[in-house]
Amino acid sequence: MPRQPSSKKKIPTELWVALIGLAGVIITALLGSPILLEMLKRAPSPHAPAAQVQPPATQDVNAPVATPADCVPSGLSELPATAFATIRPLEGAISQVKMSTLRYEYQTGLLLASGITVDFKKMRSFELSNPGFTTDFAADIAIVFLDCATHLDRIQSQSGSFLTAETQVGQMELHILDVKRVDFDW
């Protein structure tokens, strides 16, 4: 007796491979999500006391760190156009630039891992701490605002993640993970 064709259609192997790959990408994105990591950090463990979130450790012991305890609110909502930035790299010379020329990935502020973009003209300073930047290409960031409020976040690095500005001697370009600290003054 001849076999009857099955009414079930077989899913092509290429489609299975694509679906498995898509599932892997989604799982990887979820596991590496800064939002999920932040939720896991904040969730108290029933066996351990809740940890206090601390800003990244100061990498330059000679540079004063503005904290809410010793910070005096500026009374400004934004820095004036005449403000300048002092950029301290992990290695190399300190640069002083006009804030109006400062850019990060061609923007006038920092795009953080939380999805927030913070404009430079709202900042008093920011400091990066990147103990594992060679493995995860990210850094912890502590931003101190003009009113002395502090925001702790992460900043993700990509191939075009450069801090650029115009100095007195020419164009400056520094990868964001090579930045230690930036202070704004007016």
Tell whether 103 and 169 lie within a shared domain.
yes
Q: Which domain holds residue 33?
A: 13-42
Helix (H) or strand (E) holding 166: strand 162-166
**Residue 46 in this model has a pLDDT that exceeds 70:** no
pLDDT at 43: 52
178 and 91 both lie in a single domain? yes
Which phi and psi (to 5°) does residue 40 adopt? -70, -35
pLDDT at 25: 78
> What does the pLDDT average to over 93-113?
93
Residue 68 domain-assigned (yes or no) = no
The answer to whether residues 29 and 96 belong to one domain is no
Q: How far apart are CA 58 and CA 66, in angstroms?
A: 11
59/127 Cα distance (integer angstroms): 9
pLDDT, tens digit, 9 for 90 and up, residues 16-44: 888 888 888 787 777 776 665 565 555 54
Structure tokens at 14: 């290429």
Give pLDDT tens digits for 104-127.
998 999 999 999 999 999 999 999
Considering the domain boundaries, does residue 168 fall inside one? yes
Based on the fold, state whether residues 173 and 117 are members of the same structural domain. yes
- Phi and psi for 185 in degrees, rounded to 5? -140, 160
In a domain, 49, yes or no: no
38 with 93, same domain: the answer is no
Lowest mean pLDDT among 41-45, 101-105, 139-143, 169-173: 41-45
How many structural domains does the chain have? Answer: 2
Decide if 154 is inside a domain.
yes
Does a structural domain hold residue 128?
A: yes
What value, to the nearest 5°, has the Cα angle with vertex 59 and ends 120 and 32? 70
